[in-house]
Structure 1
């Protein structure tokens, strides 16, 4: 009888420790997420191919995918930009009807132009941890981070 209590206690301790280890594993999980709902929020742009990444940070550049409709917005620190988007397949995104105001801003206009021309074709997207990666056939085109990351 005494041994059955010891065995039961050891089994419970093993299960408890395994649960703790599993909980820690999930906190550092960097698996790829392609859920369209996870995409629909505001993202702070950190890098864009051919862009001045320090300027993006200074100007608080962002891209937003609306939850209510298939519209989005972007701002790199000068012009307001809008676009339509669709999710044709898991992990894929297609942009259309990119529009922008037309002010010239030194150093920013080139990034806005790169964005408006770069998102015309179907792209793939990945969300890893707090980061969003928009990719074209050349690789990562734009990297953004959720604004609530620690």
Structure 2
């Protein structure tokens, strides 16, 4: 009788461990899914350009150089940028550190002394094929050239 009681208690103990293991597994898998989604949400915001080619941070700040990757439900892959003069627009897709930019265009105003950044950015953006978010920074690169941004909502 005592052996039988011991077996029942052992079975209940194993069932409890199994249930706790299942709960732990579900909790961890839900958390990692939320983290990858929040990473994408962190991408979709306004970013200020702080490092690019030979431009100083002061020059980039004065020009208010930025890309706005905020999602627009009517045009989900269309985004905008401003590099000191014209409004720019482009199409982009982001997936697991890979980026694809296309359809880069802009309005056609002339701004004396403010066009170099815009011209270089418009030429280089379609070549950017990788992105990484580290803290409040977004970096775009093609392996040779790099554009570094800081989140506009970060103080």
TM over 0.5: yes
Deviation at 1:56, TM superposition (A): 1.2
Residues of 1 paired with 2:53 and 2:39: CA distance? 24
Deviation at 1:59, TM superposition (A): 2.3
Residues of 2 paired with 1:121 and 1:55: CA distance? 23
Structure 2 residue aligned with 1:43, among 24, 43, 47? 47
| Corresponding residue of 1:121 | 127
Question: Which structure 1 residue ranges, 4+ long, deviate > 6 Å from structure 2?
Answer: none
TM-score, normalising length from structure 1? 0.69
Unaligned stretches of 5+ residues in structure 1: 1-33
Which secondary structure state, in structure 1, belongs to the residue aligned with residue 126 of structure 2? coil
Structure 2 residue aligned with 1:84, among 79, 82, 91? 91
| Corresponding residue of 1:62 | 66
Kept in 1, the 8 Å contact 2:84–2:118? The answer is no
* Relative contact order higher in (CA < 8 Å, ≥ 6 apart): 1
Residues of 2 paired with 1:50 and 1:103: CA distance? 24
The alignment of Structure 1 onto Structure 2 pairs a total of residues equal to 116
Which secondary structure state, in structure 2, belongs to the residue aligned with residue 73 of structure 1? strand
Unaligned stretches of 5+ residues in structure 2: 1-37
Structure whose CA Rg is larger = 2
1:111 equivalent in alignment to 2:114: no
Residues of 2 paired with 1:99 and 1:122: CA distance? 16
TM-score, normalising length from structure 2? 0.67
Residues of 1 paired with 2:150 and 2:138: CA distance? 6
Kept in 2, the 8 Å contact 1:71–1:84? The answer is yes
RMSD: 2.1
| Corresponding residue of 2:147 | 142
